[in-house]
Amino acid sequence: MVGDLLDMACGCGVIATVLGKKNPMLKLTLCDVNAAAISSSIATLNVNELEGRVIASNVYSAVEETYDWIVSNPPFHDGLGTSYQAAEDIIRLAPNFLKKGGKTAYCCQCFLTLSRYS
């Protein structure tokens, strides 16, 4: 993998970190709406000696660039309840933030009904 990568709803940044370690030519951007996730992602990048930009964003609300890769393990909880809205928005809106020829990869739970986006 080479190019610009966006880890959407990054949590503590594990996906971007693993991909960054295995693919040092990737330019990493991580984003999440949760302040604790932002802080954890910065720490994860630092402890793994990786550089990357970490931004606070409610799905794509603060994303201004396009990417070669968008990866995500989409959330399916909103507080204590189950909500698929963020996962659906992440997948549905991704083409607007991909460069020409860009690709997406998602880690989804089998019970998520997201097949209409494939």
pLDDT digits (tens, 9 = 90+) for 4-63: 999 999 999 999 999 999 999 999 999 999 999 999 999 999 999 999 999 999 999 999
Domain boundaries, the chain: 3-117
pLDDT tens, residue by residue, 64-117: 999 999 999 987 765 556 677 888 899 999 999 999 999 999 987 655 555 555
81: left (phi over 0), alpha (psi -120 to 50) or beta: beta
Cα–Cα distances (Å) from 15 to 1, 5, 18, 79, 116, in that order, read 13, 11, 5, 22, 24
What is the model's pLDDT at position 87? Answer: 85
- The pTM score is 0.88
Residues 54/13, Cβ–Cβ less than 8 Å: yes
* CATH of segment(s) 3-117: 3.40.50.150
Q: Two tokens at 55?
A: 């931004």
Partners of residue 50 on adjacent β-strands: none
